[in-house]
Structure 1
Amino acid sequence: MNPISLFCILAGVTLNAGAQLLLKAGVNAVGHFEFTRANIVPIGLKLATQVPIVGGLACYVVSVAVWVVGLSRVDVSVAYPMLSLGYVVNAFAAWYLFGEALSVHRLAGIAIILVGVVVLARS
């Protein structure tokens, strides 16, 4: 994989991970809610006007564009598993930003993901 291809793939993964984090921040700002017929419009409007949610959706749009460029240069059998790096990024970012737990099991899973990505990237 050449440097430009790697950049496109990693940029797509990073933007996708950033989108998830922004969506979580936006939902956290709204708080826990239940979707019912009575509140679907008010909650929907509240969610749609959260800046982090709008930013997260924008990150998704850009990530898709970058991902398509990456896919034009890399086999999907190599590129798609790279998306698992998003889990690694999100796990550490969620721990740092939102205080989510990083248990031994999660850290072991992250290690397995990283080994798999290294093996794929070298093939």
Structure 2
Amino acid sequence: MKSIALALAVFCVLLSSAAQIAMKRGMGTPAGADVGATYLHALTSPMVWLGLVLYGVSAVLWLWVLSRLHVSVAYPLVSLGFVITLALGVLWLGEPFSWLRVAGCTLIVVGVSLLSLDA
């Protein structure tokens, strides 16, 4: 049961990362600094709505994960979202690649790995 909960936790992290990418795609580059226009654009963007739905599904599934795992085990897995989102941002959104970002993500993975040894 624990392995299923861990797998579902990772799936939730993937959904959350996909939500970030969808919302970024849906927002694009804002035309001006008008806050109202930015939120109007968000409310009318199908990709933003897709991102919100993915977040919602992830949150509902996360409740099941929390009922099966210690929060001290489950929550560090959320930090893997930084790594996944960085990779997706570079690959799908054309965001800049940086070795400093890779180093930071490497530290995150090492930290999560150390925490998982105690799981």
TM-score by length of 1: 0.88
1:112 aligns with 2:70: no
**Aligned mates of 1:96, 1:32 — CA distance in 2:** 24
**How many matched pairs?**
118
Where 1:72 maps in the other structure, the secondary structure is helix
Question: Residue in 2 aligned with 1:76?
Answer: 71
Where 2:34 maps in the other structure, the secondary structure is coil
- The one-letter code of the counterpart of 1:10 is V
Are residues 45 and 110 of structure 1, via their aligned partners in 2, closer, same or farther at CA, if it must alter by over 3 Å? same
TM-score by length of 2: 0.90
Question: After the TM superposition, which segments of 4 or more aligned residues of structure 1 sit over 3 Å from their partners?
Answer: none
Question: Residue in 1 aligned with 2:17?
Answer: 17
| Structure 1 residue ranges without an equivalent (≥5) | none
Aligned sequence identity (%): 35
**Aligned mates of 2:69, 2:109 — CA distance in 1:** 19
**Aligned mates of 1:78, 1:20 — CA distance in 2:** 23
Are residues 81 and 33 of structure 1, via their aligned partners in 2, closer, same or farther at CA, if it must alter by over 3 Å? farther
Are residues 83 and 32 of structure 1, via their aligned partners in 2, closer, same or farther at CA, if it must alter by over 3 Å? farther
Question: Residue in 1 aligned with 2:83?
Answer: 88
